[in-house]
A and B are shown apart, each in its own frame.
Chain A
């Protein structure tokens, strides 16, 4: 045998951070955020690193990729918030998704909402996202230290952006019916503006993010979008342990 069988994650499921907040699927309504800002950067990483992070239930994307996403918005329940999360590109069966391995939120009410409705295991932290005259910059702070400071520059607008930008749904490990499941976080986007730029980083502290194998040496692209976002209620769960071909995604049943 020259090359291995089908690529599976081989990470220890115990190392995936799990939200202790049980998923609440009782409210089936969507959350609408008008004029949300989404700052998204994507990087290639070594397949060996992706495999050691992803559990056996997920296949790494080919090539292996990870994303850093900032979402800034305002909602009547939470007020203004900044949410940031890092995800490893993967797929279950044939659908592309991103497993969230670390997330941060600067608003405690929003943090609790995102935990209860979508399974985020976010840490309360200072998060900022700012568009300036020549770049977009996102920062994540931890214990007064900046652990992520990334920008996109040389930006150019994308036209007809509704058909151009695709965000793969995120997967969050959380408790659902007393079991650990990967719950899909997905949304509809009505884009108003999108710019694309070249990612660069001043700081990317992979140790503080819990995965030293992650690095931003090979950026793919970054976008900043303003969009009306329709956060759908959690609809799908993905098995954490069993391979996609036997586990896979199933619909979340509500009582």
Chain B
């Protein structure tokens, strides 16, 4: 089991220079510590116009800053949006390869298509076609990395023959991933031989069948790249503290803050009903109504990593049994926690939890 960090770069109002810089600088400080502590990856989202929820409009720039401050940790697009109104696939191939150079081969490239009207409407993107353009981007980007010269005639993207530069450091190319929120997208990932970056409510039981089906499907995949990236990463939350109740309380506060920020977005299905967006995205699915007494409240997700080290070890064992390869943690929301608490939580996790999941694992009973 590997562990990583996941960044939305959520930012408290007012959007002063001080607040915006604090979020970015604190996040970079966390990634530097994570690199020293043995975390394996840093993932950064791409979002636009999502006030408070995410000010991460340029993940390539954040990841570049991280790459230059760190040595080993992998720098991962989580994700790059594959929508023509936002990006040409050429630019994604160039940016990922450039970062692969600057990080000396540490890039992982996640792909996705956005699920909010804030973003797709803001760019006047064709909502009906995002799944199809995503599919086309997934297929051309690896070829841009691996072919000396590339040309293409497609439905959503075409180009005459050019040499796309630079080429990535990693041979044959960086691993490819898909953001998985809506049910069934894990199969889209598997069919294409891409890793599944599962961004859903962190409930182990709900994800077991998804992971199993992913594993089954990927056996017969036709990979879009030069190799199959047979990995499942679970986006999750983590707050580790010696006092388990305190940790759970802080965790609930983080989730509440996150849900509140998610509530400020407009899901596609609320604005532009489309066959290509039948299921609520992550943000919409988080939108329960805390002010509606009597409405059924969902119990806390079973896979959240809030608690003392022993509690978190037990939870990660569940994910391990479910078949996850790595868990990538959100450790902050809108700077709700003081930076020192976040860093201490990471230190305690690295000291007390990570050794139980290393290759030379310490055989210690955790329920004593």
Chain A contacts to B: CB under 8 angstroms: 1-6, 42, 44, 59, 61-63, 65, 89, 91-96, 158-161, 163-166, 168, 194, 196, 220-221, 223, 235-236, 244, 248-251
Q: Which residue of B lies closest to A167 (CB)?
A: B270
Contact of A160 among B117, B270, B278, B294 (CB under 8 A): B278
Does B184 make an interface contact (CB < 8 A)? no
Contact B14 A221 (CB under 8 A): no
Contact of B260 among A5, A44, A94, A196 (CB under 8 A): A94
Tell me which residues across on chain B come within 8 A of A249, comparing CB atoms. Answer: 289, 291-292
Main secondary structure of the interface of B (DSSP, over half): loop
Q: A2-B17, A3-B13, A4-B14 are in contact. Are A220 and B291 (CB under 8 A)?
A: no
* Cβ contacts A to B, 30 pairs, < 8 Å: A3-B15, A42-B271, A59-B264, A62-B49, A63-B118, A63-B122, A65-B266, A91-B264, A92-B291, A93-B260, A93-B289, A94-B260, A94-B263, A94-B288, A94-B290, A96-B266, A96-B287, A158-B273, A158-B274, A164-B273, A164-B275, A164-B278, A168-B270, A196-B273, A196-B274, A220-B271, A221-B271, A221-B273, A249-B292, A251-B293
Contact B275 A158 (CB under 8 A): yes
CB distance from B329 to the nearest CB of A (A): 23
Given contacts A62-B118, A62-B264, A96-B287, 17 further A-B pairs with CB under 8 A are A2-B17, A4-B14, A5-B13, A5-B14, A91-B264, A94-B290, A95-B287, A95-B289, A95-B291, A160-B278, A164-B269, A164-B273, A196-B272, A196-B273, A221-B271, A248-B291, A249-B292
Q: How far, in angstroms, from A3 to B14 measured CA to CA in the complex?
A: 5
CB distance from B57 to the nearest CB of A (A): 15
Tell me which residues across on chain A come within 8 A of B51, comparing CB atoms. Answer: 62
Q: Which residue of A lies closest to B127 (CB)?
A: A221
Q: How far, in angstroms, from A109 to B222 measured CA to CA in the complex?
A: 63
Chain B contacts to A: CB under 8 angstroms: 13-17, 49, 51, 117-118, 121-122, 259-260, 262-267, 269-275, 277-279, 287-294
Tell me which residues across on chain B come within 8 A of A164, comparing CB atoms. Answer: 269, 273-275, 277-278
Q: How far, in angstroms, from A194 to B273 measured CA to CA in the complex?
A: 10
Tell me which residues across on chain B come within 8 A of A160, comparing CB atoms. Answer: 275, 278
User: Which of B15, B265, B270 is most buried by chain A, counting CB atoms within 10 A of its CB?
Assistant: B270
CB distance from B199 to the nearest CB of A (A): 19
CB distance from A131 to the nearest CB of B (A): 17
Contact A95 B263 (CB under 8 A): yes
